[in-house]
Amino acid sequence: MSAFQQERGILVDGIVGSHTWGELVEASRRLGDFILYLKQPLMRGDDVLKLQKRLNALGFNAGRSDGIFGPDTDRAVRAFQKEYGVAEDGMFGSASHAALVGLRVDRPGTPAVLREELRRSERGDVDLKEALVVLDPGHGGGDPGICGPAGITEAELCWELAVRVAERLAGGGARVRFTRTEAENPLAGERARRANRIGGDLFLSFHLNAHEEQTAEGASTYYFHSSYPAERLADELLTELIDLGINNCRAHGRSYTVLKETRMPAVLIEPAFITNPDEAKRLQDPEFMKTLADAVSTGLRRYYRHQP
């Protein structure tokens, strides 16, 4: 494919038929290059993706960050325009772009929450160091959770993993708090309340999966379905776990109380099945626990690095 054709494809067609061709075009589009708006066929590209991520980070619900400018993104652009005093026409052009990239913390009349989000998203150096991470080891106290084949309990393993993750995060400069002590088993709502009271930036709950079929294996993550930051965090964490060679049981939207009632992005992870004899055995290996904790802390770090 010649450079000329590529150039022409981008400038004249915008959206083209062939899949490969389309991918090429989409990947080359930077936010601000084109006016983005709702039209048929739907506009798509990296610029749309970046716009969606940015709007979602600011609290405007642009829908799933899929790089396709659909009705949700249209609504979010209009809400953004209204909030920031740009003509509310749904056309994300130079005025809207300037508003999005040019906003400053001291801009008057901007809601405090949005300013804070913006401050975080605009600095390129945001990392875990600024975060207050709340870790929630599942079960505990009189509730062992699921018991594994060798008698080891979900509560023990979750506690062990959470402590190791806390060590990693604290070692990297993050502040870490737990929702409970080792001897406690607060109700889910109480765990969420504690996280909210602490004012955590992120909430991470640890559990293990279970199935009557001993062969069931793998890692899954869960996020509250209308929280896009949480969905992204769930994806980052899952990616790291899968990279360890653990079977991919995917990220799922769920309305678990700890996910729904926490005010910060919250994810529940189940890195393995305690009912699978091989996985239960690996979980009792300190080296494997260490690797898991590394993967979780890397996932959190990646989440912060990729903030739009």
Asked if 299 interacts with Zn ion (CB under 5 A), we say: no
Asked if 180 interacts with Zn ion (CB under 5 A), we say: no
Q: Cβ of residue 158: shortest distance to Zn ion, in angstroms? A: 7
Q: Cβ of residue 125: shortest distance to Zn ion, in angstroms? A: 36
Q: How many residues bind Zn ion (CB under 5 A)?
A: 3
Asked if 145 interacts with Zn ion (CB under 5 A), we say: yes
| Span near Zn ion by CB under 5 A; candidates 92-100, 130-138, 215-223, 259-267 | 130-138
CB closer to Zn ion out of 80 and 203: 203
CA distances, 22 to each of 15, 17, 119, 225 (Å): 6, 7, 34, 29
CB closer to Zn ion out of 138 and 148: 138
| Span near Zn ion by CB under 5 A; candidates 106-114, 145-153, 166-174, 225-233 | 145-153
Q: Cβ of residue 138: shortest distance to Zn ion, in angstroms? A: 4
| In contact, 248 and 223? CB cutoff 8 Å | no
Beta bridge partners of 279: none
Distance of CA 237 to the CA centre of its chain: 8
| Span near Zn ion by CB under 5 A; candidates 15-23, 35-43, 89-97, 200-208 | 200-208
Tell me how far apart the alpha carbons of residues 138 and 179 are, in angstroms, rounded to a whole number.
10
CB closer to Zn ion out of 145 and 218: 145
Asked if 168 interacts with Zn ion (CB under 5 A), we say: no
CB closer to Zn ion out of 138 and 229: 138
| Span near Zn ion by CB under 5 A; candidates 20-28, 93-101, 112-120, 137-145 | 137-145
Candidate residues 67, 137, 138, 299; the one interacting with Zn ion per rule CB under 5 A: 138
Residue type, 49: L
Candidate residues 50, 97, 164, 207; the one interacting with Zn ion per rule CB under 5 A: 207
Q: Could you tell me which of 104, 178, 166, 149 has the C-alpha nearest to residue 276? A: 149
CB closer to Zn ion out of 191 and 207: 207
Residue 221: strand, helix, or coil: strand
CB closer to Zn ion out of 77 and 155: 155
CA atoms within 13 A on the CB side of 7: 3
Tell me how far apart the alpha carbons of residues 307 and 295 are, in angstroms, rounded to a whole number.
19
Q: Cβ of residue 257: shortest distance to Zn ion, in angstroms? A: 13
- Beta-carbon neighbour count of residue 95 at 10 Å? 15
CB closer to Zn ion out of 45 and 145: 145
CB closer to Zn ion out of 7 and 143: 143
Tell me how far apart the alpha carbons of residues 131 and 302 are, in angstroms, rounded to a whole number.
13
Angle at 147 between CA 250 and CA 176, to 5 degrees: 60
CB closer to Zn ion out of 207 and 232: 207
| Ranges of H-type helices in the chain | 3-8, 19-28, 46-57, 71-83, 94-102, 112-122, 154-171, 188-198, 228-243, 257-260, 277-283, 286-305
| Span near Zn ion by CB under 5 A; candidates 77-85, 133-141, 226-234, 276-284 | 133-141
Q: Cβ of residue 270: shortest distance to Zn ion, in angstroms? A: 8
> And the tokens for 299?
């996932």
> And the tokens for 142?
């009189």
User: What stretch of H or E contains 176?
Assistant: strand 175-178
Q: Could you tell me which of 136, 138, 133, 207 has the C-alpha nearest to residue 170? A: 133
Q: Cβ of residue 146: shortest distance to Zn ion, in angstroms? A: 6
Q: Applying CB under 5 A, which residues contact Zn ion?
A: 138, 145, 207
